[in-house]
Amino acid sequence: MDTSKKSRNIALEKRQIEAAKLNPAHFAPLYNTYFKPIFIFIFKKVKNEDLAGDITSKVFLKALLNIKKYKHMGFPFSSWLYRIASNEVNLHYRQQNKNTEVELLEKDVIALLDEIDYPEDIQQQERMLNALNNLPLHTAELIEMRFFEKLSFNEIGAVLGLKPVTAKIRVYRALDKLKKQILTT
C-alpha cells in the first residue's frame, strides 16, 4: 500500500471513530472492517465457532460501549480491538479454568522455524509444536501475535499496553525460550 493511500485510510478510520463517538449508529463501518480479523484471532484460540462468535460479540459490544474512551495514540484502532479480544479470551479461560489452544498452520510453523534458524523437516515441526504447547501462555501469545497474526511491534505493544521497544524485547525473549524448549523436547 502506498503512503498516500495509507494516510487516507488512517484519516478515514479516525473520522469513523469520531463519528461513532458521537453516535453509536456510526460504529457499523468499524465493525464491518474489523469483525473478520478479530473473529479469526479469537477462533484460533478457542477452536469453536459458536464460542468465537460469542466472544467476538462481547469484544464489539465492549468496544461500542467504550468508544468514547478510545484515544488515538499512534496505533491502529485494530490494536485496541485485539487487546479487548485477548482480554476476553483470557477471561473466558480463567472462568473455565482451561488453557488456551492455538491452531497453527504448517506455513506458520515453517516460517517460525525459519525465523529461529532451524531446519524445516517434519521432525522439527513436531518439536516446534510440542515446544509451543509447553510455553507459558503469555510467552506463546507473544509468538502468536508476531508470527501468526503478523502484528507489528507497535501493535503488540498497544495490545499489551507496552512500548513498542518493550514488545520487541519480549518477543525476542519469547523466541529464546522457544529455542530452549525445542532443545529439551
Please report, for the domain that includes residue 168, its CATH number: 1.10.10.10
Q: In this structure, is residue 179 part of a structural domain? A: yes
* Count of domains for the chain: 2
**130 and 161 part of one domain:** yes
Boundary of a domain, candidates 96, 131, 159:
96
Q: In this structure, is residue 101 part of a structural domain? A: no
DSSP 83-114: HHHHHHHHHHHHHHT--------HHHHHHHHH
Q: What is the DSSP letter of 25?
A: G
pLDDT tens per residue across span 172-183? 898 888 888 777
Boundary of a domain, candidates 96, 116, 145:
96
Boundary of a domain, candidates 96, 125, 153:
96
Predicted TM-score (pTM) of the model is 0.62
Domain interval for residue 68: 3-96
**176 and 116 part of one domain:** yes
**80 and 118 part of one domain:** no
N-terminal to C-terminal alpha carbon distance within the chain? 41
CATH classification of the domain holding 30: 1.10.1740.10
pLDDT tens per residue across span 15-60? 999 999 999 889 999 999 999 999 988 888 888 999 999 999 999 9
**92 and 47 part of one domain:** yes
| 48-84 exposure pattern, b = at least 16 Cβ within 10 A, e = fewer | eeebbeebbebbbeebeeebeeeeeeebbbbbbbbbb
Q: In this structure, is residue 67 part of a structural domain? A: yes
Q: How confident is the model at residue 100 (pLDDT cuts 50, 70, 90)?
A: very low
**23 and 81 part of one domain:** yes
**90 and 117 part of one domain:** no
Element (H, E) at 66: helix 49-66
